[in-house]
Amino acid sequence: MVRVVVVGGGAAGASAAARARRLDPNAEVILIERGSMITHAPCGMPYAIGGIVKSHEELMTYTPEEFEKERNIKVLTRTAVVDVDVDKHVVVTRRGETEERITWDKLVIATGAKPLVPNIPGADLKGILTLRHPDEVPDLKGHLEKAKTVAVVGGGYIGVEMADVLLDMGKRVLLFEMFDQVLPASLDPDTAAVVAEEMRGRGVELHLGEKVVEFRGAGHVNKVVTEKGEYQVDEVVLAVGVRPDVDLAVRAGAKLGETGAIYVNEYMETTVPDVYAAGDAVEKTHRVTGRRVWIPLAPTANKEGQVAGGNAVKGRVMRFPGVVGTAVTRFHSLFIARTGLSEREASQLGYKTQSALIKARTKAHYMPGAETVHVKLIAEESTGRILGAQVLGRSQVVASYVDVMAVAIQSGYTVSDLFFADIGYMPDAAPVWHPLIVAARVLSRGKL
Would you put residue 217 in left (φ > 0), alpha (ψ -120 to 50) or beta? left
- Under the binding rule (CB under 8 A), the answer on residue 285 touching its own copies is no
323: contact with its own copies by CB under 8 A: yes
| Least gap, CB of 1 to its own copies (angstroms) | 21
Coil, helix or strand at residue 126: strand
Q: Which stretch binds its own copies (CB under 8 A): 114-122, 176-184, 269-277, 406-414?
A: 406-414
Catalytic site residue 43?
A: yes
How large is the angle between the packed helices 157-168 and 189-202, nearest 10 degrees? 20
State the nearest-atom distance from the C-beta of 172 to its own copies, in Å: 24
Among the listed ranges 63-71, 84-92, 93-101, 422-430, the one in contact with its own copies (CB under 8 A) is 422-430
- Binding of its own copies at residue 415 (CB under 8 A)? no
| Closer of 5 and 239 to its own copies (Cβ) | 239
Where in 85-124 is the site for its own copies (CB under 8 A)? none
> Of 302, 353, 354, 390, which lies in the binding site for its own copies, with binding defined by CB under 8 A?
302
Q: How many CA atoms lie within 13 A of 84 on its CB side?
A: 25
Q: Is the CB of residue 250 less than 8 Å from the CB of residue 301? A: no
Helix, strand, or coil (residue 378): strand
Footprint of its own copies on 121-140 (CB under 8 A):
none
Under the phi-then-psi rule, with left for phi > 0, alpha for psi from -120 to 50, and beta for the rest, what region is 107? Answer: beta
Instruction: Write each residue from 66 to 85 as x if it is in contact with its own copies (CB under 8 A), else as -, in one continuous string.
Output: --------------------
Q: CA-CA distance, 169 to 235, in Å (whole number)?
A: 14
**8 A C-beta contact, residue 240 and residue 253:** no
Minimum CB separation of residue 80 from its own copies in Å reads: 25
Distance between CA atoms of 268 and 388, rounded to whole angstroms? 26
- Minimum separation from the CB atom of position 327 to its own copies (A): 6
Of 36, 77, 400, 414, which lies in the binding site for its own copies, with binding defined by CB under 8 A? 400
Decide: 387 and 353 in contact? Cβ < 8 Å.
yes
Q: Measured from the CB atom, is 244 or 393 closer to its own copies?
A: 393
Could you give the CA distance from residue 385 to residue 42 in angstroms, rounded to a whole number? Answer: 35
Residue with Cβ nearer its own copies (89 or 287): 287
Show the site string, 239-278: x = touches its own copies by CB under 8 A, - = not.
----------------------------------------
208 or 364: whose CB is closer to its own copies? 364
Residues sharing a CB contact under 8 Å with residue 14, sequence separation 6 or more, in sequence order: 31, 38, 39, 61, 62, 67, 305
Is the dihedral angle over the CA atoms 19, 24, 25, 26 positive or is it negative? negative
d(CA 114, CA 120): 18
Asked if 299 is part of the footprint of its own copies (rule: CB under 8 A), the reply reads yes
Q: Determine which residue in the list 32, 178, 401, 415 makes contact with its own copies, applying CB under 8 A.
A: 401
Beta strands across the sheet bearing 327-331: 327-331, 334-340, 386-393, 372-380, 353-361
Choosing from 73, 194, 397, 415, the residue that interacts with its own copies (CB under 8 A) is 397
Binding residues with its own copies: total (CB under 8 A): 77
Q: Which segment (80-88, 91-99, 193-201, 410-418) binds its own copies by CB under 8 A?
A: 410-418
Within the chain, what is the greatest distance between any pair of CA atoms? Answer: 70
3-state DSSP call for residue 226? Answer: strand
Residue closer to its own copies (CB basis): 249 or 418: 418
- Give the up-direction half-sphere exposure of residue 312: CA atoms within 13 A in the CB hemisphere: 40
Would you count residue 306 as binding its own copies (CB under 8 A)? yes
Q: Which range in 102-110, 114-122, 208-216, 364-372 contacts its own copies by CB under 8 A?
A: 364-372
Catalytic residue, from 43, 239, 288, 334: name it.
43
Contact string (CB under 8 A) for its own copies, positions 207-246, x = contact = ----------------------------------------
Using rule CB under 8 A, residue 142 touches its own copies: no
Rounded Cα–Cα distance for residues 399 and 7 (Å):
32
Nearest to 389 by CA among 417, 408, 370: 408
The answer to the question of residue 402 lying near its own copies (CB under 8 A) is yes
Instruction: Write the binding mask 426 to 445 for its own copies: x where contact by CB under 8 A, - elsewhere.
Output: xxxxx-xxx--x--------
Nearer to its own copies, 222 or 329 (CB): 329
Exposure string over 163-193, b if 16+ CB within 10 A, otherwise e = bbbbbebebbbbbbbbbebbbbbbbbeebbe
The catalytic residue positions are 43
